[in-house]
Amino acid sequence: MSDVQVRQLEDREDFLARWAVFYQHTEDKFFYQSPAWMTAWLETDGTGAALYEVEASREGRTLLMGVVGAGPRRPAVLGLKEVRLQETGDVALDDIYVEYNDFLVAPEVGADLRRDVVDALARKFADADAIVFRNIRAPLAEAARGWAKPSAWRCVTLREQPVFVVDLGAVRSAGGDFIASLSGSFKTKLRRAMAGYEQRGELSCRVASTDAERRAAWERLMALHQESWRARGRPGSFANRKLVAFHQNLQRHAGEAVQLFEVRCGVETIGVLYNFVHQQRVLNYQSGFKIEDDNKLTPGFVCHALACQHYLDAGFDIYDLLSGEADYKKRLGVVSEVLSSLSLECPSPRNKIRYLMKSILSTS
């Protein structure tokens, strides 16, 4: 029988030390669960949300760890109270957008223990209206749905998103030329764009290596990203100060596991990719590209293609474009899995009122 504990996170330093030790003994883990990510997240949190550590053990051996945030009811009286896995409920801070979300688990953990943990959360937060799991992998999604099925709680699927990846290992086995591995029409489009850039200056790429190079590349990334989003009438990710603070913390803690990949045409930067390196995988988290008047130049495609070749040559196996159905992801990669966002909703008076209002609006 496993012992599941949900307790308020008070000693963050002690928790992070235990997390780092457990992380080393787990297998199916991602960068979003790394000690560097968790440390940066906990350092940036200033929301006032109550954070709780979740731990399951058997005979003194840790089998599962996680953190949930229990934010205040919003609005104060009539609003919903939610408990969220690795989120606080503060929209600005949660905009860091965790993917491959899950508890950190020992190799032998199966669906039964995950369901026990969901049950423990439901009992601990009996006054909450919902437990939200955003961008979770299939094992946790299946466990959450399985727990809700015999209970009075409803499991609502908020969103499902495919993850697109480039299989660099397969390209390496086929000869090692990334552009040559693409479909005919897209390959032609990409080569035409690269030739157009070459007429202006030599295309070159590099990963920022020194502190000065990283600072300069980070500033260029933010400037390019913000410029392109403002041109569309939207503020852009880096208008969010909490997100910027988080990533500054992350870069300090993660070291070379965070990379800024810069592409230039002559002396001009046409794009910067913000990547995470984890085991044999490179995750493209954010980007910034120069706005071009000539729509044949496609700086985004060019930068990603050069990045794929660079990381392929460096020995990596996967270039991960993360979730979402953007056109460039579909053209460059293939679907590897689907991430689900679920809300487990209890039969509270507030939820009953919500369901009734939705029903009335849907039939009106």
The pLDDT assigned to 328 comes to: 94
Sign of CA dihedral 143, 103, 335, 279: negative
Identity at 270, one-letter amino acid code: I
CA distance 182 to 167: 12
Does pTM surpass 0.85? yes
Quick: pLDDT tens for 209-234: 999 999 999 999 999 999 999 988 88
Q: Residue 76 class from Cβ within 10 Å (0-12 exposed, 13-18 middle, 19+ buried)?
A: exposed
Token code pair at residue 87: 């989120």
Mean of the per-residue pLDDT values for the chain?
93
| Judgement on whether residues 174 and 109 belong to the same structural domain of the protein | no
Q: CA 223, CA 244: separation in Å to the nearest integer?
A: 13
Q: Specify if 182 maps to a domain.
A: yes
Structure confidence by residue, pLDDT tens digits, 298-315:
999 999 999 999 999 999
**Residue 171 domain-assigned (yes or no):** yes
Cα separation, 56 vs 62, whole angstroms = 6
Residue 188 and residue 305 in one domain: yes
95 and 189 share a domain? no
73 plus 8 within the same structural domain: yes
Question: Parallel, antiparallel, or unpaired: how do β-strands 318-323 and 50-58 relate?
Answer: unpaired
Residue 308 located in a structural domain: yes
3-state secondary structure of 297: coil
Q: CATH number for the domain including 284?
A: 3.40.630.30
Residues 106 and 207 in one domain: no
226 and 280 together in one domain: yes
Q: Taking residues 159-173, what's their average pLDDT?
A: 98
Query: Which amino acid belongs to residue 115?
Result: R
| 209 in the same domain as 92 | no
Residues 266, 294 share a domain = yes
What is the per-residue pLDDT for 296?
92
**What would the pLDDT profile of 315-334 be if each residue is shown by its tens digit?**
999 999 999 999 999 999 99
- Same-domain check for residues 23 and 127: yes
Q: Report the alpha-carbon distance of residue 141 to residue 341 in Å, rounded.
A: 8
Residue 53 belongs to some domain of the structure:
yes
Looking at the structure of the chain, the number of domains it has is 2
257 occurs within a structural domain: yes
Please report whether residue 159 resides in a domain: no
Residue 125 lies in domain: 3-153+346-363
Tell me the C-alpha distance between 325 and 322, whole Å. Answer: 10
Element (H, E) at 151: none
Q: Are residues 131 and 187 in the same domain?
A: no
* Listed range (54-58, 89-93, 116-120) with the worst mean pLDDT: 89-93
In a domain, 158, yes or no: no
Residue 160 lies in a domain: no
pLDDT level of residue 282 (50, 70, 90 thresholds)? very high
End-to-end Cα, the chain, rounded Å = 51
Q: Are residues 264 and 138 in the same domain?
A: no
- Domain identity same for 354 and 254: no
